[in-house]
Amino acid sequence: MNTITDIKEVSELRAISLNLFNKYGFPTKKDEDWKKSTLNNFLENNKKLEIYKDNNETIYDKAFENFNHNKIITVNGLVQKIEFVGKDKDKLIITTINEYYKKNNKYLSKLFSNKKNPLVAANNALATSGFYLEIKDNLDLPIIIYHQFNSKIDQMQLHQKNYIYINKNSKAVLFEKFINENIKTFISINTNIDVEKNSHIKNYILNSHNTENCIFRFKKVNIAASANYESFIFSNITKTIRDEVEINLNESLAECYLYYTQFLKNDEDHEIKVKINHLAENTQSNQFSKSIIDGTAKGIYQGKIFVDQIAQKTNGYQLIKSVLLSDQCTFHSKPELEIYADDVKCSHGSSSTSLNKDELFYLMARGIPEKQAKRLIVQGFLSEVIEKISDDVFKNYFISKTEEMLK
């Protein structure tokens, strides 16, 4: 099997990316998009972390969900096992990202784009693990990708690059579950998703029990005509995570729906940066985020809607809400609109508040203890976003996760 460095085209693209990273270095608080970031501190203090080299690792099977699904298990960025069920076996293709490079070396430049982002440039230059996943038709069962990280990568850095391709007229549910048994690691995951004409992908993510690691995830999604991308991210017990998402609505009737809920406490922090590019007429996007922040935790949401001058009849909406439960926690929101077309419907809104005292008084006046009353208010606040999930199995899954989180 060819390694990445054996492939001339890949080596050249990696070299360009490395030169760009060496030129600009890690982001600092001088950069507008990183002014409020706590990721900077970890990167500044851990510049010399050794790069993890791919290896076969033991699978942690206790993390598997107990309902019927297709499985992809990665350990420290490398696919270790796949289990596709029934007819779905013939509708899915999965290889290492290296194998995809070897067979498609004329179409690689788009996987090495976004060079202006220093952490993406670093990933482009250094990633040696990852997978290519192709969905060829409507799937009967969801796919769960178990991203497992173990102690073999403690105090190291790991860079992973993935490419997911959704064929025309296909439908799929893709759930990514992150399991961190490692500590003090910098993990960088760069994923490209192409959603072809009249296809529909639901991409759900669970961040949980990551107490000592710094994670940067960049996801770029290209959406074709009459295609639909729905995403939901649920975060709880996350030390330091930055999620960056760039959506390109490239053709007419392309749609995307991005939903987020998070409950951060202690010294946890989660940054979300979203840019949605409306590049054709009659496209639609919706961002809806709700956060509960407690202790000394920190939440950040940067969301931008860009509308090109040819993107008439655009609908773009963004609503960001947070509830602060302590005097020491913070939430920073930066909603933006950049519009060059005149026949559009676009709006953005953001609010931060403390727990509603009237609601708390109402519940306590009816005999509900204060602690339970607060829990009910928080659950009701977050459930408004979860109810937007269009897949009933995962809607119920995340409702139960919310209940577990608040116990």
Higher confidence at residue 39 or residue 82?
82
pTM for the whole structure: 0.94
Q: Which residues form the domain of 398?
A: 355-407
> What is the C-alpha separation between 153 and 354, in angstroms, rounded?
39
pLDDT at 13 over 50: yes
Note whether residue 197 is domain-resident: yes
| Domain stops at, among 251, 267, 300 | 251
CB 284 within 8 A of CB 257: no
C-alpha gyration radius of the chain: 21
> What is the C-alpha separation between 247 and 347, in angstroms, rounded?
17
- 90 and 227 share one domain: yes
pLDDT at 1 over 50: no
What would the two tokens of residue 103 be? 């067979």
Pure H helices in 25-144 = 39-45, 97-103, 118-126
What is the pairing mode between strands 330-339 and 143-149?
unpaired
CB 326 within 8 A of CB 294: yes
What is the pairing mode between strands 200-223 and 186-195?
parallel
- 48 and 184 share one domain: yes
Note whether residue 332 is domain-resident: no
Query: What pLDDT, on the 0 to 100 scale, is given for residue 12?
Result: 86
DSSP for residue 62: G
3-state secondary structure of 390: coil
Note whether residue 187 is domain-resident: yes
- 246 and 359 share one domain: no
What would the two tokens of residue 211 be? 């107490």
Per-residue pLDDT tens digits for 179-230: 888 888 899 999 999 999 999 999 999 987 777 788 999 999 999 999 999 9
- 44 and 181 share one domain: yes
> What is the C-alpha separation between 283 and 195, in angstroms, rounded?
14
| Domain stops at, among 229, 251, 273 | 251
Which of these, 41, 42, 38, 54, lies nearest to 3 by C-alpha position?
A: 54
Q: How far is CA 47 from the centre of its chain?
A: 24
Query: What pLDDT, on the 0 to 100 scale, is given for residue 267?
Result: 86
Note whether residue 211 is domain-resident: yes
Note whether residue 406 is domain-resident: yes
- Split into its structural domains, the chain has a count of 2
Q: Contacts from 68-73 at CB under 8 Å and sequence distance 24+?
A: 68/141, 69/141, 69/142, 69/143, 69/144, 69/175, 70/139, 70/141, 70/142, 70/143, 70/144, 71/143, 71/144, 71/146, 72/131, 72/133, 72/143, 72/144, 72/145, 72/146, 73/145, 73/146, 73/148
Q: Would you place residue 29 in the very low, low, confident or very high pLDDT band (cuts 50, 70, 90)?
A: confident
Query: What pLDDT, on the 0 to 100 scale, is given for residue 240?
Result: 86
Q: Which distant-in-sequence residues (6+ apart) come within 8 Å of 178 by Cβ?
A: 147, 149, 205, 206, 207, 208, 210, 215
What would the two tokens of residue 150 be? 């173990």
pLDDT at 260 over 70: yes
- 381 and 232 share one domain: no
Other CB atoms within a 10 A radius of the CB of residue 351 amount to 11
pLDDT at 115 over 70: no
Q: Which of 34-43, 167-176, 338-347, 369-378 has the lowest mean pLDDT?
A: 34-43
Share of the chain above pLDDT 70, in %: 97
Query: What pLDDT, on the 0 to 100 scale, is given for residue 335?
Result: 93
What is the pairing mode between strands 70-75 and 200-223?
unpaired
| Domain stops at, among 225, 251, 277 | 251
Per-residue pLDDT tens digits for 232-247: 999 987 788 999 999 9
What would the two tokens of residue 182 be? 């490692």
> What's the mean per-residue pLDDT of the chain?
90
Note whether residue 289 is domain-resident: no
CB 86 within 8 A of CB 141: yes
Higher confidence at residue 386 or residue 104?
386
DSSP for residue 121: H
Which of these, 274, 338, 346, 279, lies nearest to 308 by C-alpha position?
A: 279
Per-residue pLDDT tens digits for 291-346: 999 999 999 999 999 999 999 999 999 999 999 999 999 999 999 999 999 999 99
Note whether residue 403 is domain-resident: yes
Q: Which distant-in-sequence residues (6+ apart) come within 8 Å of 319 by Cβ?
A: 287, 288, 289, 348, 349, 350
Phi, psi of 137 (to 5 degrees): -160, 180
Note whether residue 286 is domain-resident: no
- 46 and 183 share one domain: yes
Query: What pLDDT, on the 0 to 100 scale, is given for residue 105?
Result: 65
How distant, in Å, are the alpha carbons of 140, 259, 272, 351, 393 from that of 146?
19, 21, 22, 34, 18
